């Protein structure tokens, strides 16, 4: 009997990790979860796999997956021989509190069970594996599960089911492509902050209830109706085994423009709305925000191209 899975999400998950943590080596293991029993684990059935090849290696283990084994991964044990010399910018926390009093936001998160998140963070500068392990445990002590705080602890793969829980639900991926970095100083300073002195903030990168709805930013007299849209990751373009962010931005913007014009929106409302969504959710814009002129130039060029393509394929009724 085949188990549920979403290979598109699995692909996006590994592209996401490779995009931010290029060159990372991983091990893949098989877990046999049975209720009330300690799982049987086949450690490292695939070892020292470059993260860029992880998706293909997971595909090779799908027969085992459909026989009831969970495929989990960890940073490769290869690094254990180089704890002081090997470096990384990756840390993660199991059962991370997405709503927290410190305003700490993950780079992306995987929902492994109901309200249970494995959250990934990118350090602003590389640290040794030993230091990454200490940072993870410190962050988990305040905002996660310290019992699963090791750098080498296994973690779930988004898009695959999780037999640890009875309903065998697929693990879900949440991200916004805003590049959020954290420093070691920020993590170590948590213990000096009192929770009552800081305002609780929501995880702004997790899609909220209306984030997959295109809402017109200008809607005089309520003339234009909002409508559901597919999100950015549905339009991924890949170039040289990495995500082509600019091509993906354009594909997503063109899709939104076509939908809006087909719904009867005028061109100005459509263009302004796409500008707003790209400004808030596009990684291409995010990478240029340090130089506002570049960000705005990129926004205007992308919207102009999207509108041009959309109008070529959309029938616009005459007034």
Residue 24 pLDDT = 94
- Give the helix, strand, coil percentages of the chain, each rounded to 5: 40, 25, 35
Q: Assign 199 to helix, strand or coil.
A: coil
Q: What are the boundaries of each domain within the chain?
A: 7-197, 213-313
Residue 165 pLDDT = 67
Tell me the fold of 213-313. Answer: 1.10.1240
- Convert the pLDDT of each residue in 161-171 to its tens digit: 987 766 768 89
CATH number of 7-197: 3.30.70.1790
pLDDT block averages, 10 residues each, the chain of length 319: 87 87 94 80 95 95 94 95 87 92 88 89 92 93 88 94 77 72 89 52 41 81 88 77 84 94 94 91 73 90 95 61
Residue 208 pLDDT = 40
- Convert the pLDDT of each residue in 143-166 to its tens digit: 999 887 889 999 999 999 987 766
Half-sphere exposure of 272 (CA within 13 A, CB side): 10
Residue 221 pLDDT = 78
Residue 210 pLDDT = 43
CB neighbours of 274 closer than 8 A, spacing ≥ 6? 253, 256, 257, 260, 303, 306, 307
Compute the chain's Rg from CA coordinates.
22
pTM for the complete prediction?
0.69
Interhelix angle for 267-281 vs 292-313, to 10°?
130
Q: Are 127 and 87 in contact (CB under 8 A)?
A: yes
Task: Kindly tell me the burial class for residue 167, based on how many C-beta atoms sit within 10 Å of its own C-beta (0-12, 13-18, 19 or more).
Answer: exposed
């Amino acid at each position: 009997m085949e188990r549920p899975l979403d290979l598109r999400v699995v692909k996006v998950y590994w592209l996401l990790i490779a995009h931010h943590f290029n060159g990372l080596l991983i091990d893949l293991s098989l877990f046999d979860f049975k209720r009330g029993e300690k799982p049987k684990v086949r450690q490292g059935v695939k070892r020292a796999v470059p993260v860029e090849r992880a998706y293909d290696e997971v595909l090779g283990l799908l027969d085992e997956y459909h026989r009831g084994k969970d495929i989990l991964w960890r940073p490769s044990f290869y690094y254990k021989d180089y704890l002081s010399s090997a470096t990384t910018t990756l840390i993660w926390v199991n059962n991370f509190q997405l709503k927290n009093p410190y305003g700490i936001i993950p780079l992306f998160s995987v929902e492994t069970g109901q309200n249970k998140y494995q959250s990934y963070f990118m350090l602003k500068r590389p640290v040794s594996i030993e230091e990454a392990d200490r940072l993870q445990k410190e962050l988990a002590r305040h905002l996660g599960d310290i019992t699963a705080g090791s750098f080498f602890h296994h973690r779930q793969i988004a898009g695959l089911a999780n037999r640890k829980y009875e309903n065998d639900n697929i693990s879900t991926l949440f991200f916004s492509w805003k590049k959020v970095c954290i420093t070691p100083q920020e993590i170590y300073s948590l213990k000096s902050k009192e929770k009552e002195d800081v305002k609780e903030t929501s995880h702004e990168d997790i899609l909220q209830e209306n984030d997959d709805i295109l809402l017109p930013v200008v809607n005089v007299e309520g003339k234009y109706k909002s409508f559901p849209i597919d999100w950015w990751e549905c339009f991924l373009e890949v170039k040289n085994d990495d995500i082509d962010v600019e091509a993906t931005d354009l594909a997503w913007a063109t899709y939104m423009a076509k939908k809006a014009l087909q719904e009867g929106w005028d061109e100005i409302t459509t263009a302004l709305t796409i500008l707003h969504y790209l400004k808030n959710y596009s990684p291409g814009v995010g990478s240029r925000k340090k130089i506002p002129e570049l960000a705005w130039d990129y926004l205007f060029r992308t919207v102009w191209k999207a509108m041009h393509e959309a109008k070529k394929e959309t029938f616009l009724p005459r007034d």
